[in-house]
Each structure stands twice: as structure tokens, then as C-alpha cells.
DNA sequence: CTACAATCGGGACAGTTGTCCCGCTTGGTC
DNA sequence: GACCAAGCGGGACAACTGTCCCGATTGTAG
């Protein structure tokens, strides 16, 4: 690959990352190109469809989160690992509008492209959930889809006035619901 | 107003109601017109913009819910009134994709047009919330936006496999989080 | 330095959708 | 039954966006 092509590819990816994070996934491709200082043709050669641009960005972020989740699973007791993972996921998504939309399934379906083990958020989430349930830390009747829905709720909270305190409280509310009653 | 005009207006409203409920707010206006057996011009004369069509439909639904909420406030103790209201809101929205989207703020902002007392969901929600908090049934640090976010979470649950049991569990999870710990 | 192939820029194109307008039709009254 | 304004149908128009292509440019091997 030619040096300038490589440079352009990275630049587009970089600009797209921060633009999607700040303004969401609905920003036009032409706008990404403009901010990156390239033509639309250049973007569409490196990323033939908008989805492929989403993929390149979101999968990278997801891989990071999955990695952190596995670390948690290895170093914490099952209950703490699960709740810390939940908070981590929300915190990450809350500061990145694009990721938040992908997680909420608005505009891009993460899970249909994130099947490789290093991207499989669903699998690692289920792993942590089941572990926490076996340890008696989470209600036994909860399923992964419930957890995801609560996460979407936390992210929805961000859209109406976002401050760290509200975010913490919101995570706390969700976790309190999930916790096994004694 | 001419009789046929009145008839057409009602027919459009009726078709739009069920179409939005079944397929969401993104159905094109032309499709509504087609199903109602009228031209697009007829729709746009009665409802100059798509938003005005949303308004006519959603405000009607919201008015019903607000009414039910006031009944609950009058006939139940504050805690029960609040939790029953929450469940009611979710149940109503769950079976109506359009309402669900409006409640989640996806495609239409209910609260900016629902300011009249009989439509003011926000006001009645706050009323019930504060009552429940004073009675010690709900955590005192919760604010209305938190409740709305949890509701959005419940509605998000519907999008990934919807069955009555899961819905009940999801409402239960959310309410458990809101409840004051002892 | 030269030549050529890879790459680039940006405009063309197609598909969607909301809004508006105009010529024709029809309901309701005299 | 006739008249005319209210109302209708549906096509025109504009705005937006994703995708593709072509002529111009530029990096790089020899």
C-alpha cells in the first residue's frame, strides 16, 4: 500500500472516531471527508460502505471493553466483576455518542458484526452474569437481554442532562434492581 | 367543513394510528395516504407537516395516560400509585411502537408539544414521584429524568424478544432499583 | 528522471421523503 | 338541476445522503 494511502486511511479513521463520538453516527460521510481534508471518493475506497466505517471504529472500541471485562473476571469476585463491568460499559458509552447509539441498536447493529471472540460482548456479558448469579449476587431470573436493556436506560439518561453524579446514581439504580434481594 | 373532508380526516388519523403503532414513526406519509385510500395532498392539507400528524395521534394517547395517572393518584397510596403508573406507562408503550419511540425521544419530542395540563406527562410523573418519595416508598435522590430513563430501558427490552413475562420482570427490575432500601 | 500504476478529488447518480401546487372533481345549497 | 367553492389526487420539487466513476495527480520503482 502506498504511503499516502495509508496516511489517508488513518486520518479518516481518526476523524470519523472523534466525529461519531461527538455527534453520533448520523453524520454524513461527506462531512467526515471534509473534516479529514480528503474527497468522498477517498473515504469510500477505504470503506466501501458507511457500515464498514462503523465496523472499523466500533469493533476497535468493543475489543477494548471485552479485554477489560476479561481482566475483571480474572481479578474480582464474580459479583464485583459483573457490577464493575456494567459500570464500565456505561461509562465508556456515555462519553461516546456513537458507541452509545451502537450499543442501543440505533443506526448500527454491533452484535451482528461482533462475532469473533475478541469482539463478542454478548458472550463475555453472559459469562459475567452467570458467574454473578451462581455467586448469589444477582437475581437468578435475569437474562442478558435484561442487562442490556438496563444499560440502554442508563445511556438514555445521558441524553437529558448529563452529569457525573446523575450517571453514578443511574448506574446505582440499575444495579440495585439487578442485585439479589436477601 | 364538508362531510367528505371530515370523513377523510378521521380515516387518515385512524390509519396513521395503527400504522405508527405497528411499524413506528418512520413510515412515510405517502404510505399512510396509500393505506387510507387518499392522495398525499389530502393528508398534507389536514396535517401540514408530519409532526402535526404525530401530535394529533400522540397527544391523544398521552391524554389517556395522564388521565389514568390522576385516577391512580386519587385512589391508591402514594407508593402503589407511583409503581402502578410506571407499569402502566410501560405496558401502554410496549404495545405501540410509535408511542414507544415518542417516549424514548426517537423521532419525535413529546414533551415539547405536551404542555397543556391534560397532556403534561412530566408534571403528573413528578407529582407521583414526589408523593412516593415523601411516603418513603422511593429513594429520595431519584429525579424524574431517572424514572424516564428506566422506562426507556424497559421499552428497549421489547426490541429484543418481547414476551409478557420478560416485560413483567423488566418492570420489576426497574421498580426494585427505585424502591427505597430499608 | 521517467513512466506508470495506484490514488485522489469531487461531481454524477439514484433512492428516499417531506412539502407544495395545480387542474379536475364533487358536495351542498339555492 | 345547476353552480361554485371546498376538496381531492398525484405529480413536481427540493433537500439529503450513500455509492460509484472518471479524469487529474502523485508516489515510487527502476
- What chain A holds in terms of domains, given with CATH numbers, is 1-48 (1.10.10.60), 58-178 (1.10.357.10)
pLDDT over 80 at B126, yes or no: yes
pLDDT over 90 at B49, yes or no: yes
Residues of A (71-110) whose Cβ lies below 8 Å from B: 104-106
Q: What is the mean pLDDT of residues B159-181?
A: 94
Nearest to A146 among B143, B148, B170 (CB): B170
- A96-to-A19, A75, A92, A155, B115 alpha-carbon distances in Å: 10, 27, 7, 10, 32
Q: What is the mean pLDDT of residues B84-90?
A: 97
Q: Is the Cβ atom of B42 within 7 Å of strand D at any atom?
A: yes
Q: What is the mean pLDDT of residues A103-126?
A: 91
Map residue A179 onto helix, strand or coil.
strand
Verify whether the Cβ–Cβ distance B181 to A176 is below 8 Å.
yes
Q: Could you tell me the pLDDT band of residue A182, with boundaries at 50, 70 and 90?
A: low
| A contacts of B177 (beta carbons < 8 Å) | 172-178
Indicate the average pLDDT of chain B.
Answer: 95
Quick one: residue B142, left, alpha or beta (phi over 0 = left, psi -120 to 50 = alpha)? beta
pLDDT over 80 at A100, yes or no: yes
The Cα B29–Cα B25 span in angstroms is 10
Verify whether the Cβ–Cβ distance B152 to A154 is below 8 Å.
no
Tell me the CA–C1' distance in angstroms for A1 and C6: 9
Q: Which residue of A has its CA nearest to B166?
A: A146
pLDDT over 90 at B77, yes or no: yes
Helix H or strand E segment including B146: helix B144-158
Measured to protein CB atoms, the chain C nucleotides within 7 Å are: 6-12, 16-22, 26-28
pLDDT over 70 at A27, yes or no: yes
pLDDT over 70 at A147, yes or no: yes
pLDDT over 90 at B181, yes or no: no
User: Is the CB of residue B143 less than 8 Å away from at least one CB of chain A?
Assistant: yes
Q: What is the mean pLDDT of residues B107-111?
A: 88
pLDDT over 90 at A43, yes or no: yes
Residue B182, pLDDT score: 67
Q: Which residue of A has its CA nearest to B106?
A: A106
Helix H or strand E segment including A7: helix A3-23
The Cα A61–Cα A101 span in angstroms is 13
pLDDT over 90 at B180, yes or no: no
Nearest to A173 among B161, B169, B177 (CB): B177
Query: What sign for the dihedral angle of Cα A30, A36, A40, A45?
Result: negative
Name the percent of chain A lying above pLDDT 90. Answer: 90
Name the percent of chain A lying above pLDDT 70. Answer: 99
Nearest to A160 among B145, B154, B172 (CB): B145
Tell me the CA–C1' distance in angstroms for B90 and D18: 36
Q: Could you tell me the pLDDT band of residue A93, with boundaries at 50, 70 and 90?
A: very high
| B contacts of A181 (beta carbons < 8 Å) | 176
Amino acid at each position: 500500500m502506498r504511503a499516502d494511502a495509508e496516511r489517508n486511511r488513518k486520518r479518516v479513521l481518526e476523524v470519523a472516531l472523534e466525529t461519531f463520538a461527538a455527534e453520533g453516527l448520523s453524520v454524513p460521510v461527506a462531512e467526515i471527508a471534509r473534516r479529514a481534508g480528503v474527497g468522498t471518493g477517498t473515504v469510500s475506497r477505504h470503506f466501501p460502505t458507511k457500515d464498514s466505517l462503523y465496523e472499523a471504529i466500533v469493533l476497535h472500541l468493543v475489543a477494548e471493553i471485552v479485554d477489560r471485562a476479561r481482566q475483571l473476571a480474572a481479578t474480582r469476585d464474580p459479583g464485583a466483576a459483573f457490577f464493575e463491568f456494567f459500570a464500565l460499559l456505561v461509562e465508556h458509552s456515555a462519553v461516546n455518542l456513537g458507541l452509545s447509539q451502537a450499543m442501543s441498536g440505533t443506526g448500527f447493529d454491533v452484535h451482528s458484526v461482533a462475532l469473533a471472540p475478541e469482539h463478542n460482548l454478548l458472550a463475555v456479558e453472559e459469562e459475567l452474569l452467570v458467574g454473578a448469579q451462581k455467586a448469589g449476587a444477582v437475581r437468578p431470573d435475569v437474562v442478558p437481554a435484561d442487562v442490556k436493556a438496563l444499560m440502554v436506560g442508563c445511556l438514555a439518561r445521558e441524553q437529558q442532562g448529563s452529569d457525573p453524579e446523575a450517571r453514578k446514581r443511574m448506574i446505582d439504580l440499575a444495579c440495585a434492581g439487578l442485585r439479589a434481594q436477601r
